[in-house]
Amino acid sequence: MLNEALTSIKGIGPGRAERFASLGLFSILDLIHFFPRDYHDFSKATNISELNEEEYVAVRILFIGKPKTIRTSSGLRITTVSIGDATGNLQAIWFNQPYVATSIPLEPHGYALGRVDKRHGTKLLAPFFIDTLPGIQPIYPLKRGLNQNMIRNAVRTALVCGLDEIEDDLGDSLCYEFNLIDIHSALSSIHFPSDPVSLEKAKHRLAFESALKFTLMLELARFERSNSKGIAFDIDSSIEEFVSMLPFKPTEAQLKVMHEVSHDMSSPSSMNRLVQGDVGSGKTIIALYAMFVALKNGCQSVLMVPTEILAEQHFKLLKQFFGNKAALITGSISAVKRRELLCDIQNGRIMAITGTHALIENKVEFQNLGLVITDEQHRFGVSQRARLSKKAHNPDVMIMSATPIPRTLSLLLYGDLDVSLVDGMPPGRKPVTTRLVPQNKRIAMYRYIEKEIQTRRIQAYVVCPMIEDNESLAEVNSAENVFNELSDNLAIKAALIHGRMRPSEKDVIMSDFRDGKIDLLVSTTVIEVGVDVPNARIIVIESAERFGLAQLHQLRGRVGRSSGESFCFLISGSDSKASKERLKTLIATNDGFKIAEKDLELRGPGDFLGTRQSGLAGLGAPFISTYMTTLVEARNAAKKLITLKNDDSIRLQSIVREAYADLFENIVIN
């Protein structure tokens, strides 16, 4: 029954089944595991005097006026009706839905359910009317042609038909050991909770199980890797020799991580280390040190990065350290040059190589590859990193990331890796001054930037959340719109870059910006991983409320890469108190890890976990954003399960190995 097509459900014909398929739903089992993205709690009425901005509420109707529909000069039809309870009144309002007037009660009774808007008086947006309170309502992701009731009805039928066929992977003993409800209760309550307590228990169970399987897989991977033989590099005096080659003194954090890398590389087991550091903390020096050790030991090393322009930047450094033993491999080099380089790499004449995903092509063969490094690792899938690592036998692996992740969460995400933290900044760097700019000061801010560019000969970025305008998000400035506006009104050289452009086109624009031929670069988030442009001293982020805190911090890291003073201006179109408080975190600190902690507190772990999980497609039920303690408990349980020998533990390990067999080898070496 679980694998039966959705057309077996009454009310779902071929046409509607296609709409469900656009959500990735094809079977009864798919529906059961299609979890709500949110919940609206309509289990009790809220007094009008106690309503909060943007809440979904149920208001008891003790007074109701006569509905009115007006047409504005632009053709917009607005329908309103006054509603009151014992504590106050509000306006219910609908846009371009004049037909709702017929559904508005003539007499005061029942409830109005909708979203609160308090910007210009208290309003209830597009409410619907109901006689009795419906309790907690699941809210699912939608596609055109489907509404919430269609999905709720389909899920309800799927639970009736298939729930009893689902086996509990954890079993009775593990559920008892970790105080979890059974899988049938969890799946029922995650869709249709009877009360907040049952919903929390369901979230806890499903988040725990997903995290347990994920971290158990990582623990098994770590165990298997510890038994595999790698290269024991000779690291005698390597740090001293390398430091003597540098034109500056490394920070204490850099030296600490060099010692950790030395310990790994000298071990007979393969190194698998994540080097995590804030934007501009100097992680590249760690990579160069590891490549220096490999070269000293007669082994080749490779550094893979996500963009050609970043690869070119790294290649300049490699040339300084390794001379003609360094090479650059990208998709845009000529066929003749490529054949020559591939031959030199295969014969061992080239020892230190950097490049883009072109490095993973089958034609790229190494003579003695001993070290594989990936920079900005979240830009590569696990399979891409694995293909590069498989070009050698158990090479040492280093993964670098400039995305700050709180330490506890890092242990969950990267439990199979050893984690190093570069938590200092190179001397001379000044923190970026960050300001929140109100909309009425926006034009004046751009005039100020124009003057700064003209008088100080600096450069600036402007980042927008969308490429082009969207009618449903009229308040959000698009990159195309901002570029046209600034090009028409500022006497400076501006350019536009975004993700729909061809890679070669983007590389030309970034090269021109780096070389000072462009004063102001209007962009989407494609510059989040970009070149080092020390002369870029100002970044403006339009509609800043549309970005997560961690992403805003990453974008801010495009400036402040020299000893000069740098600025980040945040423009927000939201009047939400929560949005403003969130952005104040960025104003208060330049510490990426403090910002990540706040982001975790505000958004939950789902977004962070998704970074790692999205590269491991097929890991089963998604993490549900829940309390951090649940995920920590799951990790501790996974470490414990490795040593337990009871039937449920052995069975669960077998389930994990079988379910992720196609990924397991990649995870071991990524």
CA distance readout (Å), 95 to 72, 271, 573: 11, 60, 21
Residue 234 DSSP label: -
CA dihedral 101, 147, 602, 555 (to 10 degrees): -100
Distance CA 62, CA 361 (A): 70
Q: What is the pLDDT of residues 110-157, one digit of tens each?
A: 999 999 998 888 999 999 999 999 999 999 998 889 999 999 999 999
Q: 500-508: long-range contacts at Cβ-Cβ below 8 A with a sequence spacing of 24 or more?
A: 500/467, 503/307, 503/308, 503/331, 504/332, 507/307, 507/308, 507/309, 507/332
Q: What is the CATH number of domain 433-589?
A: 3.40.50.300
Question: Which residues, at least 6 apart from 665, have a Cβ–Cβ distance to it below 8 Å?
Answer: 386
Alpha helices in 1-139 (DSSP H): 14-21, 28-32
Q: What is the pLDDT of residues 601-659, one digit of tens each?
A: 776 655 554 545 443 333 334 444 455 677 778 888 888 888 877 888 888 988 888 87
> Above 80 in pLDDT, residue 33?
yes
Answer positive or negative: Cα dihedral of 353, 355, 359, 364: negative
Q: What is the pLDDT of residue 361?
A: 76
Quick one: average pLDDT of 526-530? Answer: 69
Distance CA 552, CA 546 (A): 10
Q: What is the pLDDT of residue 86?
A: 94
Residue 69 contacts residue 30 (beta carbons within 8 Å): no
Q: What is the pLDDT of residues 247-270, one digit of tens each?
A: 888 999 999 999 999 999 999 988
Distance CA 399, CA 385 (A): 9
> Above 80 in pLDDT, residue 362?
no
Q: What is the pLDDT of residue 224?
A: 72
Of 210, 231, 223, the C-alpha closest to 630 is: 210
238-266+282-401 belongs to CATH 3.40.50.300: yes
Question: Which residues, at least 6 apart from 592, have a Cβ–Cβ distance to it below 8 Å?
Answer: 278, 279, 404, 550, 553
Neighbours of 19 (CB within 10 A): 18
**Which residue's entry shows tokens 């195309």?**
480
> Above 80 in pLDDT, residue 599?
no
Going by their DSSP bridges, the two strands 63-64 and 77-85 should be labelled as antiparallel
Q: What is the pLDDT of residue 133?
A: 95
Distance CA 503, CA 540 (A): 24
| Threshold 0.75, pTM exceeds | no
Q: What is the pLDDT of residue 615?
A: 35
Band (pLDDT 50/70/90 cuts) for residue 217 is confident
CA distance readout (Å), 182 to 164, 202, 638: 12, 9, 18
Q: How much of the chain exceeds pLDDT 70, in percent?
A: 88
Which range, of 70-74, 224-228, 416-420, averages the lowest pLDDT? 224-228
Q: What is the pLDDT of residues 532-587, one digit of tens each?
A: 888 999 999 998 988 888 889 888 988 988 878 899 999 987 777 778 888 888 99
Q: Where are the domains of the chain?
A: 44-132, 238-266+282-401, 433-589
Q: What is the pLDDT of residues 303-335, one digit of tens each?
A: 998 888 788 889 999 999 999 999 999 888 888
Q: What is the pLDDT of residue 616?
A: 35
Band (pLDDT 50/70/90 cuts) for residue 670 is very low
Between residues 554 and 62, which one has the greater pLDDT?
62
Q: What is the pLDDT of residue 158?
A: 94
Q: What is the pLDDT of residues 577-597, one digit of tens each?
A: 778 888 888 999 888 888 877
3-class secondary structure, 113: strand
Distance CA 651, CA 637 (A): 15
Neighbours of 331 (CB within 10 A): 13
Distance CA 149, CA 130 (A): 14
End-to-end CA distance of the chain: 38
Q: What is the pLDDT of residues 402-432, one digit of tens each?
A: 777 776 677 666 766 788 888 777 766 788 9
Neighbours of 171 (CB within 10 A): 18
Q: Please name the CATH architecture into which domain 44-132 falls.
A: Beta Barrel (2.40)
Topology agreement, domain 44-132 and domain 238-266+282-401: no
Of 40, 67, 36, 319, the C-alpha closest to 188 is: 36
Going by their DSSP bridges, the two strands 111-117 and 56-60 should be labelled as antiparallel
Average pLDDT, rounded, for the chain: 86
Alpha helices in 604-646 (DSSP H): 606-613, 628-641
